[in-house]
Structure 1
Amino acid sequence: MTDPYLPADAETRAQARALIDAARHAALAVLQPGGMTPSVSRIALATDAQGMPVSLISSLAAHTAALEATPTCALLIGEPGAKGDPLTHPRLTLHCFAQPIARGTPEHDALRARYLDLRPKAGLYADFGDFRFVRFAILDGLLNAGFGKAVRLTGNDLSGERR
């Protein structure tokens, strides 16, 4: 069997970056603690100053315990269009490593300011004691840009640095 993935090029890297930069939410896939059962939930999403995906999550959410037990996870971003088959619209799976950001650090303060600038409604709960920021360090990704347009991307292909 041949590899179904096309090589990444400048156009597909830019398309993947555009999906990351525009994402307001994502499907987060985690492994449940103590087992091999996967779970998926929707989370709010933004990017940090380096272009990496970040979210503000509650310690009360099941996915938070899952990320603490196993920080490897996946994000699915991309919106189906208003018309047509949802599978013809671009989407991006990111394989990530979740990195919690400690409160009271300069990194947290900078991320809080950026996140609230991008997602102002999060100001309603950003300072609640059970919420914290998580950065998703991208390991690699899979871009599905439509029929016959699947591309495997490296972490470097998806870095926030503009090429």
Structure 2
Amino acid sequence: MTDPIRPTDDAARRMAREIIDSARFGALAVTDPETGAPMVSRIASVPGPDGAPLSLVSDLSHHTRALVANPVCALLLGEPGGKGDPLTHPRLSLQARAAFVRQGDDDHAALAAHYLALYPKAKLYIGFGDFALVRFTPTGAHLNGGFGKAFVLTPEDLRPERAAG
């Protein structure tokens, strides 16, 4: 069998960046600290100022407790279009580490303003004491650009300035 993974090129880097930049929600995979089993939850997502995904989560959610216990996670971004086979639409699976930015932290105000500019509905709850921003720092990625278009990307490949190249 031929290896289905193509060499990563600038077109793949641009596609991955387009997915990150346009995503407003994704599927977050964490490890349940109580059972050790994987768990998936839908979360809001925007590209942070550094280009990495950024979200806003509540301490009341199970996925937040899981990230506190183990920051290693995965985030699936990219939604199927309105027509055709959903499996032919591009999607990006990021392997990442989560880092919380809580109210009172030095960069919280700037990140919150950035987040609200891209996800204005969060204005209703971003100031609640149990909410924190979460930066997802990619450690690797798998891009499925459609049928027969699979790529493995590094954190370097995902940097906005690299993808523009």
Q: Which runs of 4+ in 1 moved over 2 A?
A: 1-4, 160-163
Which stretch of structure 1 is more off in the superposition, 146-155 or 97-106?
A: 97-106
Q: Paired residue for 2:10? A: 10
Q: Deviations over 1:12-31 (max 9, x none)?
A: 00000000000000000000
Q: CA deviation at 1:125?
A: 0.1
Which stretch of structure 1 is more off in the superposition, 94-103 or 58-67?
A: 94-103
Q: Counterparts of 2:57 and 2:160 in 1: how far apart (Å)?
A: 22
Which stretch of structure 1 is more off in the superposition, 124-133 or 2-11?
A: 2-11
Q: CA deviation at 1:2?
A: 4.9
Q: Is 2:103–2:129's contact at 8 Å kept on the other side of the alignment? A: no
Q: Counterparts of 1:14 and 1:21 in 2: how far apart (Å)?
A: 10
Counterpart secondary structure, 1:121: helix
Q: Counterparts of 1:37 and 1:105 in 2: how far apart (Å)?
A: 32
In percent, how many aligned pairs have the same letter? 54
Q: Paired residue for 2:121? A: 121
Q: Paired residue for 2:50? A: 50
Unaligned runs of 5+ in 2: none
Counterpart secondary structure, 1:109: helix
Q: Deviations over 1:88-112 (max 9, x none)?
A: 0000100000011132133111100
Q: Counterparts of 1:49 and 1:27 in 2: how far apart (Å)?
A: 21
Counterpart secondary structure, 2:12: helix
Q: Deviations over 1:25-59 (max 9, x none)?
A: 00000000033211001000012111110000000
Unaligned runs of 5+ in 1: none
Q: Counterparts of 1:19 and 1:85 in 2: how far apart (Å)?
A: 18
Counterpart secondary structure, 1:157: helix
TM normalised by structure 1 equals: 0.96
Q: Paired residue for 1:71? A: 71
Q: Deviations over 1:38-93 (max 9, x none)?
A: 10010000121111100000000000010011100000011101111100000010
Cα RMSD over matched residues? 1.2
TM normalised by structure 2 equals: 0.95
Question: 2:50 corresponds to which letter in structure 1?
Answer: Q
Counterpart secondary structure, 1:147: coil
Corresponding pairs, count: 163
Q: Paired residue for 2:86? A: 86
Q: Counterparts of 2:115 and 2:144 in 1: how far apart (Å)?
A: 27
